Amino acid sequence: MRIALLTDGIYPYVLGGMQKHSFYLAKYLARNKIFVDLYHTGSIEADTKQLREFSEEELAYITPNYIPFPSVSKLPGHYVLESYLYSERVYKLLRGKEAVDFIYAQGFTGWKTIAEKRKGKSLPAIGVNFHGVEMFQQSPNLNVKLQHLLLRAPVKYVLKNADLVFSLGGKLTAIQEKLTLRRIIETPIGIEQHWLEENLLVETNKDRKFVFIGRYERRKGIEELQEVINKISSSYAFSFSFIGPIPNDKQLELTNVNYLGLIKNEIEIKRILHAADVLVCPSYSEGMPTVILEAMASGLAVIATDVGAVSALVSDQTGWLIPVADKESLQLAITEAINMDTQVLLQKKEASKRMIAENFTWDTIIQTTIDSINSIVHQRHPYHISEG
């Protein structure tokens, strides 16, 4: 089988949840001897046939097609226009290539291809994954809400006209069921087996160690989190580490808070996670955050807001699932974690690791994905992309 994978970037050349998902999709499809025509973008460094982080055996099944991402004026709505123009570039390159059996489009990347199929062009089935569909989740402020409103119409168009919609599960399936009548298949994010180190002893620190991983973005809830930390810092013994590019003028000046900056090295991230107790993810909107999977696989309990597909991971068994934008609930969860009996917290941490091991490794997830695609492919003949 041959699949065209359309994405707006691939890890490690472009950082982000969708880009990391694209990386693992390509890797594990290739490991299952499925040919992948990869259409991607990023810095000029990404324009290579020898993509980093793939083995030679995997690259034998992957054909990279690099496409520069267009840049237009920074007027309101520029991202929507750029996304459409990029999808045009993808389609122009795609249409002259070898026939494929299925097209897997991340976000807006299949927009033009879907529009051409709607006009009658002979194309294979197209599946779309919008991950968090954040534009239909809660907004942290008016500015973000206006950005979301600009994105809603094109997202609806793509979802309504694709042949298949992939959902990460949780609340995301219900959101997309309101937007399309197309078949929706739930396929969660996966994690590689090496995150689950069998000999790693799950322990708990006397003075609780918390960690946040992410960029400084309003929807990530960092402002609310830092307000809570600042409020309780003098009353409890705990430490907090931030991994990600947090501007200096947005950082707290507290001795128990450490800003580590952007860390790309997985070994270093693992080391920090293994030394921590609780990951905090207080976002206004999410898909299924890879950072939660990585933290749980590392034996951390999780405090997270009930958004996107987070409820598929976080519960009272593995941590604290709290309402969105609720600083009181966030503070209560953090203080409970600080004061919790060591053995009880240890049970949450062990349950986290066990859940990931049993349900969310890529070896398991890729089989679900392949089976879903096969169920569509076998319903029809693969078509060659043509101008007819």
For 30-77, write each residue's pLDDT tens digit: 999 999 999 999 999 999 999 999 999 999 999 999 999 999 877 777
- Give the tens place of pLDDT for each residue, 265-274: 889 999 999 9
**19 vs 15: CA distance, rounded Å:** 6
Q: Higher pLDDT residue, 221 or 264? A: 221
CATH 3.40.50.2000 fits 193-359, yes or no: yes
Nearest CA to 364 out of 104, 183, 188, 194 is that of 188
**129 vs 114: CA distance, rounded Å:** 13
7, 11, 34, 143, 176 from 137: Cα distances, Å: 22, 25, 35, 14, 11
CB atoms within 10 A of CB 233: 16
> Which is it for the CA torsion 239, 340, 284, 140, positive or negative?
negative
Given this model, what pLDDT does residue 75 score? 74
Q: Where in the chain is CATH 3.40.50.2000? A: 2-190+362-377, 193-359
What is the percent of the chain where pLDDT is above 90?
A: 86
**Tokens found for residue 41:** 């973008």
Given this model, what pLDDT does residue 378 score? 82
The residue assigned the tokens 């879903």 is 372
22, 38, 126 from 4: Cα distances, Å: 11, 6, 9
- Give the tens place of pLDDT for each residue, 248-292: 999 999 999 999 999 988 899 999 999 999 999 999 999 999 999
Given this model, what pLDDT does residue 380 score? 54
pLDDT band of residue 187 (cuts 50, 70, 90) is very high
> Which is it for the CA torsion 139, 143, 145, 148, positive or negative?
negative
- Give the tens place of pLDDT for each residue, 300-315: 999 999 999 999 999 9
pLDDT band of residue 200 (cuts 50, 70, 90) is low
What architecture (CATH level 2) is domain 2-190+362-377? 3-Layer(aba) Sandwich (3.40)
pTM (2 d.p.) = 0.90
DSSP, collapsed to helix, strand or coil, labels residue 214 as: coil
366-373 average pLDDT score: 93
113-127 average pLDDT score: 95
